[in-house]
């Protein structure tokens, strides 16, 4: 079995592959201060709940955009699984050419998403990842990572609005019952939801003007399911895209 970890700024997504099949997956909050032993105990408990044995793991692959956790993850892999974790870095042979001006600047998750999207859907394609940031990543017809766009995420927008205003409350992100809110909470939720949708649709319009209207569009990330049905574009929802990309990169070793 392969253990794949996608470590984001807000959440950690953990997957267990048996061959090419994603058999188990969990989404947990990212705790930057978590020690190697805390990581190990957490995984041991998840494995026990799913009746999995730690010694069944033959490899560990990680995409992390939170460098402070990497050393503890590496130590956890050695201590609890007796193996070296493979971290996706700019030097990793991911099977895709990165055309960024400085490839060292590209987040591991964005490259991993591009690998999986091209493998599953072909190119040209655009990946919209709704995480802490909302990212748009472009892959050419030849399978090259062209670059992308980075925008503030939904949580950042909610937190910023709450932090910078005196009387506006914190709200959750959901599709509002009606467009024009009749109370403060409903008005904020409408602004967040439709503002996010219009931003995504507007950026996709511009990207498709550059890449071609036939570019396939894939949505992933923790909040992707909330927006796919409301977009003007035909978005393919693939919540496990990053984990699948990690598996594909692992297979290239």
8 Å CB contact between 145 and 100: yes
| CA angle, 112 then 225 then 202, to 5° | 80
217: enclosing H helix or E strand: strand 216-220
DSSP 3-state percent helix, strand, coil across the chain (nearest 5): 40, 25, 35
Tokens of 160: 């910023």
Other beta carbons less than 10 A from residue 144's beta carbon? 17
Alpha-carbon distance 111 to 134, whole Å?
Answer: 15
Which among 37, 93, 101, 109 is annotated as catalytic?
109
CA atoms within 13 A of residue 84's CA, in its CB half-sphere: 3
Find the DSSP H helices in the chain: 36-49, 70-81, 108-121, 154-164, 184-211, 224-227, 241-251
Distance CA 196, CA 69 (A): 30
Is 109 annotated in the active site? yes
Order of strands, sheet of 11-18, starting from the edge strand that comes earlier in the sequence: 21-29, 11-18, 2-7, 59-64, 86-87
Give the residue numbers annotated as catalytic, written as ranges. 109
């Amino acid at each position: 079995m392969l253990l794949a970890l996608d470590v984001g700024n807000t959440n950690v997504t953990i997957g267990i592959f048996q061959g090419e099949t994603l058999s188990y997956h969990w989404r947990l909050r990212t705790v930057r201060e978590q020690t190697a032993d805390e990581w190990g105990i957490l995984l041991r408990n998840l494995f026990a709940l799913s009746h999995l044995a730690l010694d069944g793991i033959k490899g560990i692959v990680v995409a992390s955009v939170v460098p402070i956790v990497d050393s503890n993850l590496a130590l956890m892999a050695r201590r609890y699984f007796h193996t070296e974790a493979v971290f996706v870095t700019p030097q990793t042979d991911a099977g895709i050419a990165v055309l960024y001006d400085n490839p060292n600047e590209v987040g591991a998750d964005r490259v991993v998403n591009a690998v999986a999207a091209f493998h599953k859907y072909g190119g040209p394609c655009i990946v919209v990842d709704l995480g802490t940031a909302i990212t748009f990543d472009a892959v050419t017809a030849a399978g090259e990572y062209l670059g992308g766009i980075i925008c503030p995420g939904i949580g950042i927008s909610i937190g910023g609005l709450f932090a910078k205003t005196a009387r506006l409350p914190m709200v959750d992100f959901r599709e509002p019952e009606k467009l024009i809110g009749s109370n403060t909470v409903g008005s904020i939720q409408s602004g967040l939801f439709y503002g996010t949708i219009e931003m995504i649709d507007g950026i996709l319009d511009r990207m498709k003007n550059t890449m071609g209207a036939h570019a396939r569009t894939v949505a992933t990330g923790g909040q992707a399911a909330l927006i796919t049905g409301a977009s003007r574009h035909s978005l393919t929802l693939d919540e496990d895209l990053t984990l699948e990309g990690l598996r594909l990169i692992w297979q290239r070793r």
